[in-house]
Amino acid sequence: MIRPIVRYGDPLLHRRAEPVAEITSDVQALIDDMIQTMYAAPGIGLAAPQVGVPLRLFVVDLSLGHRADDLIVMVNPEFVVREGMQLEEEGCLSVPGFNSTVARPLRAVLRGWDREGTEHVREGSGLLARAFQHEMDHLDGRLFVDRLRGIKRDHIVRKVQKLRRTGRW
Ligand SMILES: [Zn+2]
């Protein structure tokens, strides 16, 4: 089932998510819905708070569903390693129509559970490291906009506020 994606300004996006206590059939159904929602958007990553569920869980697929091996499900992920720095343009399904250059680690290693509850250590560099950090930020209630400074941030916040006022957000 495709779930609606909540947008910047929704309180669920701006608070820290809770750990998943146990991988129940409800959690697996949520994971399946998130994968479907990510592919439908389409996007390369989606965190549970983006579908209004405050749990520490995200899905990433750089291939947009074209290569089965590329799908990564991370439940209760934690950073093992973060190193280096990259500056690239970035967007977010919860902030549609906006993107900006964001500093991210060049390499990131995460530990977390998959859909069946098996623990994995996943290593990402470049775009995958960026996606990992972006989704981890969602679990802590942080969006890429929150990592911007000064006029870049003000520009997006003001435009979003205007869209909200006119019911277009
Ligand atoms: Zn996002």
Rounded average pLDDT over 12-22: 97
Whole-angstrom distance, CA of residue 148 vs CA of residue 99: 11
> How confident is the model at residue 11, as a pLDDT?
95
Read off the tokens for 5: 């994606």
Take residue 68 and report the two structure tokens written for it.
């089965």
Cβ atoms < 10 Å from Cβ of 142 = 15
CA of 46 to the centre of ligand 1 (A): 6
- pTM of the predicted structure, to 2 decimals: 0.96
- Sequence-ordered alpha helix ranges (H) in 14-105: 25-40
Average of pLDDT values for 110-131? 98
Mean pLDDT for 86-91 is 96
The pLDDT of residue 122: 98
Active-site residue, 18 included: no
Give the model's confidence band at 15: pLDDT under 50 very low, under 70 low, under 90 confident, else very high: very high
**Distance in Å, CA 167 to ligand 1 centroid:** 21
pLDDT given for residue 97 in this prediction: 95
Three-class SS of residue 157?
helix
